[in-house]
């Protein structure tokens, strides 16, 4: 397979302005797993998932895992050919269609902005909850949306500075946060299972292999909702691809890191959700008072209040980590688009000594801050989470899905050359892409019927992209939207890019 050491811009390899050869494979894997943020994801989504599919949550996680894993395979092969920090945006533009690629990039950016608002809100809530547990602030202050927003913005400002300051600083901070998060979550999950298995705590619900049966998800509606939530569970590993230009072995390590992180995350999610379902009663899982804070309730029932505060710390560290690693792909994505001449030039500014696209980092944080401010008017923070989680899951399914299709199309001429390429670069990414598109469409359709307002964030994000793309087309002078797409051919045993025709 061909080794491409530099990103491709307008058909030619370029020297990256970012701090190259900085991250190792371990750094990339930590960033990928930290971006998904297991503790945050479980705290924000586990109860919503149980409410949607009941005790079949493990089945929903598996149903969401497989198509996303197939997309991770697509990322691996596409990144081998073009380690561009625009990742999906760049690959789709180059191999499928530049218009589709631009729009896919916009969808990813919209999902990131929404998430960089949702995560700090949860971070603010957990920070105040921790301070209240120490008796430093009152419960009224801890539950005040305005103070939650203020603290959330403060966390966002801190991680924005770190991301702008440098990729090495960011990676080192991630190592610390990931250790805290994984140690605590795995510790509580294993402790709960030991108590149940040893008989010191009667199982609230006996383990049942049927939990893993997709047929128990409750038909098409249950599968679609569960899968959309599960897609959110695994979203974020692709950050490793967005920092590929700053990674050693840029064409190999990011793709490997993404695949490794998927299996690490699957293990953690399944272990945690099984422990929660076996340890807590069905009524406790379905209690609305617990659903907004199911991890803390689980820890409290397991160990009592003092030790349960460790879970608050785990979710807080996870939230801060994932906010930081969501800013990373946003800034690299907009930097790549600006470098291609299809986004404002300011987003292409790279700090002369930090070697980071600092302007795009700050602007993403500013837009996320505006969304956070809007949440002050919402009575329940839980409502914000429940709506945004499903909306983000739909947006992620869209840009993951198109990447799967792009992989199949890009490698279509060499799929018959080996079984490995046929399966991992072609058939499986295609299946994953089609499945994710179907899930996204069904969820939007169901939400539209049930409550039009619930679909507004998705519709606004998609709708806003159309006029913005028109502006990008009108103001582009680099010829980006008229560049011929490429497909990959096997020449002397190595994959190489070949122009395949003008974009449609």
Per-residue model confidence as pLDDT tens digits over 36-58: 888 888 887 787 788 788 888 99
pLDDT at 388: 64
- Tokens standing for 193? 């299972």
Q: Note whether 296 and 311 are within 8 A (CB).
A: yes
* DSSP assigned state of 376: T
Mean of per-residue pLDDT scores for the chain: 88
Is pLDDT above 90 for 75? yes
Q: Note whether 81 and 495 are within 8 A (CB).
A: yes
- Please state, for a pLDDT cut of 90, what percent of the chain lies above it: 54
Q: Which domains does the chain have, with CATH numbers?
A: 8-501 (1.20.1740.10)
* H or E segment and range at residue 479: none
* DSSP assigned state of 498: E
CA gap 48, 390 in Å, rounded: 10
Other residues' Cβ atoms within 10 Å of the Cβ of residue 61: 27
**Non-local CB neighbours of 352 within 8 Å, separated by 6+ positions:** none
Q: Note whether 364 and 327 are within 8 A (CB).
A: yes
pLDDT at 104: 95
CA gap 293, 302 in Å, rounded: 14
Nearest to 70 by CA among 360, 412, 479, 434: 434
pTM of the predicted model over 0.85: yes
pLDDT at 502: 44
Q: Note whether 298 and 279 are within 8 A (CB).
A: yes
CA gap 147, 70 in Å, rounded: 41
Is pLDDT above 50 for 447? yes
CA gap 169, 183 in Å, rounded: 22
> Alpha-carbon Rg of the chain, whole angstroms?
22
CA gap 415, 438 in Å, rounded: 24
Q: Note whether 27 and 20 are within 8 A (CB).
A: no
CA gap 1, 197 in Å, rounded: 49
- Tokens standing for 456? 């507004």
Within 13 A of 330's CA, how many CA atoms are on the CB side? 29
Average pLDDT over residues 311-340: 92
Is pLDDT above 80 for 221? no
Q: Note whether 119 and 323 are within 8 A (CB).
A: yes
Nearest to 50 by CA among 287, 392, 286, 383: 286
DSSP string spanning 337-362? HHHTTSS-GGGG---TTT-S-HHHHH
pLDDT at 168: 92
Residue 204's pLDDT band, with cuts at 50, 70 and 90, is confident
Is pLDDT above 90 for 10? no
Q: What phi, psi does 125 have (nearest 5°)?
A: -65, -45
Burial of 321 (0-12, 13-18, 19+ CB in 10 A): buried
Q: Which of 221-235, 275-289, 451-465 has the lowest mean pLDDT?
A: 451-465
Nearest to 195 by CA among 311, 276, 308, 302: 302
CA gap 121, 116 in Å, rounded: 9
pLDDT at 395: 87
pLDDT at 391: 75
pLDDT at 380: 55
Residue 455's pLDDT band, with cuts at 50, 70 and 90, is low
Is pLDDT above 90 for 102? yes
CA gap 497, 478 in Å, rounded: 21
CA gap 264, 44 in Å, rounded: 19
Q: Which of 222-226, 295-299, 388-392 has the lowest mean pLDDT?
A: 388-392
């Amino acid at each position: 397979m061909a080794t491409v050491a530099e990103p491709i811009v307008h058909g030619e390899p370029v020297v990256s302005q970012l701090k190259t050869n900085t991250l190792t494979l371990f750094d990339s894997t930590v960033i990928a797993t930290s971006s998904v943020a297991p503790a945050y994801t479980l705290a924000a989504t586990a109860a919503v998932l149980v409410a949607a599919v009941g005790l079949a949550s493990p089945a929903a996680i598996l149903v969401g895992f497989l198509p996303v894993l197939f997309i991770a395979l697509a990322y691996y092969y596409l990144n081998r050919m073009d380690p561009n920090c625009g990742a999906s945006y760049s690959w789709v533009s180059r191999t499928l269609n530049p218009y589709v690629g631009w729009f896919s990039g916009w969808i990813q950016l919209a999902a990131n902005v929404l998430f960089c608002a949702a995560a700090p809100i949860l971070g603010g809530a957990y920070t105040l909850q921790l301070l209240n547990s120490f008796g430093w602030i009152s419960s009224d202050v801890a539950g005040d949306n305005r103070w939650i927003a203020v603290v959330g913005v403060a966390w966002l400002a801190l991680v924005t500075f770190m991301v702008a300051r440098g990729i090495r600083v960011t990676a080192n901070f991630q190592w610390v946060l990931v250790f805290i998060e994984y140690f605590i979550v795995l510790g509580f999950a294993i402790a709960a299972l030991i108590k149940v298995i040893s008989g010191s705590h009667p199982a609230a619900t006996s383990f049942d292999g049927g939990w893993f049966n997709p047929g128990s998800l409750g038909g098409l509606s249950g599968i679609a909702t569960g899968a959309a939530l599960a897609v959110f569970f695994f979203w974020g590993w692709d950050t490793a691809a967005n920092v590929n230009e700053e990674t050693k072995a840029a064409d190999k390590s990011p793709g490997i890191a993404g695949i490794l992180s998927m299996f690490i995350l699957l293990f953690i999610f399944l272990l945690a959700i099984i422990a929660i379902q076996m340890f807590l009663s069905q009524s406790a899982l379905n209690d609305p008072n617990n659903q907004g804070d199911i991890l803390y309730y689980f820890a409290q029932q397991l160990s009592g209040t003092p030790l349960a505060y460790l879970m608050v710390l785990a979710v807080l560290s996870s939230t801060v980590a994932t906010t930081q690693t969501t800013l990373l792909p946003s800034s690299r994505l907009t930097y790549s688009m600006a470098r291609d001449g299809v986004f404002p030039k300011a987003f292409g500014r790279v700090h002369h000594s930090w070697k980071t696209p600092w302007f795009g980092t700050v602007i993403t944080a500013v837009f996320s801050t505006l969304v956070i401010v809007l949440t002050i008017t919402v009575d329940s923070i839980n409502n914000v989470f429940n709506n945004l989680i499903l909306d983000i899951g739909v947006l992620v399914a869209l840009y993951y899905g198109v990447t799967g299709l792009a992989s199949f199309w890009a490698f279509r001429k060499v799929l018959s050359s080996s079984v490995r390429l046929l399966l991992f670069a072609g058939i499986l990414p295609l299946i994953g892409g089609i499945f994710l598109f179907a899930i996204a469409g069904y969820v939007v359709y169901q939400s539209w019927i049930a409550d039009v307002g619930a679909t507004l964030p998705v519709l606004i994000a998609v709708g806003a992209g159309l006029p913005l793309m028109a502006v990008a087309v009108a103001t582009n002078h680099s010829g980006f939207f008229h560049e011929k797409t490429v497909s990959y051919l096997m020449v002397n045993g190595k994959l190489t890019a070949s122009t395949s025709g003008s974009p449609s």
